[in-house]
């Protein structure tokens, strides 16, 4: 996997093995690969490139995606049981990203799970009236 910025490779990770039917790859995550050297600070416009190789090590497919401009401000509790996170989400060309293609997660330490669900991750998973609501 490579991160390309302005035509130059700024980070890479090797020995990444796609998982499951979707081909999910993870870096700096349990069970995933590791960045060589420093973990890159991904920026809007960066290109992530993966190369699939056959058993002989020959490249058989290249996949690229351009990082979108996605920002999120700090979560704010607006009422009992309600947290709002405001931000932006635009594609590389500046067009808005579809809300149904986004997910927001709040993650806490495993020592302090969320009361809702009892897990360390709280995901905003459903869309109601243009607002993303946690489930």
Asked if residue 9 has pLDDT above 90, the reply is yes
Supply the pLDDT for residue 134.
47
Q: Select, from the ranges 1-10, 56-65, 80-89, the one with the highest average predicted confidence (pLDDT).
A: 1-10
Per-residue model confidence as pLDDT tens digits over 91-103: 878 888 887 777 7
pLDDT above 90 as % of the chain: 15
What's the average model confidence in pLDDT over 69-85?
85
Supply the pLDDT for residue 56.
86
CA dihedral 37, 38, 41, 46 (to 10 degrees): -10
Residue 125 CA to residue 104 CA, distance in Å, equals 8
Asked if residue 46 has pLDDT above 70, the reply is yes
Strand order in the sheet with 47-53: 8-12, 2-5, 47-53, 59-66
Structure token digits, residue 115? 């009361």
Structure token digits, residue 122? 């709280």
More confident residue, 49 or 127: 49
């Amino acid at each position: 996997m490579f991160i390309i910025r302005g035509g130059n490779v700024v980070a890479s990770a090797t020995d990444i093995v796609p998982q499951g039917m979707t081909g999910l790859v993870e870096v700096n995550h349990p069970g995933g690969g590791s960045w060589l050297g420093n973990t890159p600070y991904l920026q809007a416009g960066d290109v992530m490139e993966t190369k699939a190789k056959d058993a002989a090590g020959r490249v058989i497919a290249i996949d690229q995606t351009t990082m979108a401009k996605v920002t999120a401000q700090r979560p704010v509790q607006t009422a009992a049981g309600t947290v709002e996170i405001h931000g932006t989400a635009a594609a590389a060309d500046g067009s808005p990203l579809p809300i149904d293609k986004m997910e927001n997660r709040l993650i806490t330490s495993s020592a302090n799970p969320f009361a809702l669900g009892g897990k360390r991750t709280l995901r905003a998973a459903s869309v109601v009236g243009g607002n993303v609501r946690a489930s």
